[in-house]
Amino acid sequence: MTNPETRLRPPTVCQEHGAENEFVRGLLGRIGDKWSLMIIGALHEGPLRFSALQHMIGGISQRMLTLNLRQLERDGLITRTVYAEVPPRVEYELTDLGHGLLVPALAMVNWAADNAGRIRKYREVYDAEQAADG
Amino acid sequence: MTNPETRLRPPTVCQEHGAENEFVRGLLGRIGDKWSLMIIGALHEGPLRFSALQHMIGGISQRMLTLNLRQLERDGLITRTVYAEVPPRVEYELTDLGHGLLVPALAMVNWAADNAGRIRKYREVYDAEQAADG
DNA sequence: CTGTATCCAAACGGATACTG
DNA sequence: CAGTATCCGTTTGGATACAG
């Protein structure tokens, strides 16, 4: 068994139990998910309805959008409001908690967008080296 | 002048160039991965060897650590240095590019750690409501 | 329009055994 | 020590059909 004392500690937090760290890791996997980040980012300017989200994100299936929205709602990051209209309208909006995540999330999205070209180059070099001699 | 805080970029979520956006999304999935974030975070103070990383992160299998390190190396985020010693020593270190990612990455890790308790509560409430009436 | 349900293929990821 | 290779169950995610 690994020694809990030497495990990674996020700077601002001192975890007392390994289980707590596992929860945080699971949380990271959830909010760090590409779809979650895109959804959070898409909602930064205000509420959007289901179809608008799907169209704006582009490339996400109906199923995945639904699943991700449910997760984000469960985690208290977004709210889901159903308007009794015909045709039905459902709007998703960031909560205060979701707004807090918006800052780091957009930082990630922007970083990815800013460095996409550079990373593509790195991959090409790496792959070329692998093909050359391994 | 332009406010850095409001340097939000609609084009990121509006897919005008599908291929480029898909690359960025894939990139987000990669660097947003829980293991990648943990690894980046673990390396923030300096180089670490394989076993130190595995021990520090805690809960990651040898296989997953290897795979993630290879990907991060391929993306130019970390370097892998092999020292010809007995026993062999391999050290991983952030590149400048990796250091740039460190800021958003740590923001994500810290946010997750800071809000873990709150989110746990939200989940309990949500699950209770689901169990109650669905 | 906004989902839910089902099928199915691909990717993820742990456990284990083995290598230089 | 730092991997690689393999097996194999679990999870992800698209496609499709159907429902409120």
Establish whether the CB of B30 is closer than 7 Å to any nucleic acid atom in strand D. Answer: no
| Better pLDDT: B20 or A126 | A126
Per-residue pLDDT at A17: 53
Residue the block writes with tokens 């805080």: B5
Establish whether the CB of B12 is closer than 7 Å to any nucleic acid atom in strand D. Answer: no
Distance from the Cα of A87 to chain B's closest Cα (Å) equals 23
Q: How confident is the model at residue A5 (pLDDT cuts 50, 70, 90)?
A: very low
Chain B positions touching A8 (Cβ under 8 A) are 38, 41-42, 56-58
Q: How confident is the model at residue B22 (pLDDT cuts 50, 70, 90)?
A: confident
Per-residue pLDDT at B120: 94
8 A C-beta contact, residue A74 and residue B126: yes
* Token duo for residue B5: 């805080």
For residue range B32-75, what is the model confidence (pLDDT) as tens digits? 988 999 999 999 999 999 999 999 998 999 999 999 999 999 99
Per-residue pLDDT at B3: 41
Chain A positions touching B56 (Cβ under 8 A) are 6-8
Which nucleotide has the shortest C1'-to-CA distance from B90?
Answer: D2
What is the model's pTM? 0.86
For residue range A24-62, what is the model confidence (pLDDT) as tens digits? 889 999 999 989 999 999 999 999 999 999 999 988 999
Residue B40 CB partners (closer than 8 Å, separation 6+): B31, B72, B77, B94, B98, B101, B102, B105, B106
Per-residue pLDDT at B134: 64
Average model confidence (pLDDT) for chain B?
A: 86
Q: What percent of chain B has pLDDT over 70?
A: 85
B31's enclosing H/E stretch is: helix B18-31
The rounded distance, in Å, linking the Cα atoms of B115 and A93 is 19
Interface contact flag, A32 B33, Cβ < 8 Å: yes
Strand ranges (E), chain A: 48-49, 78-83, 89-94
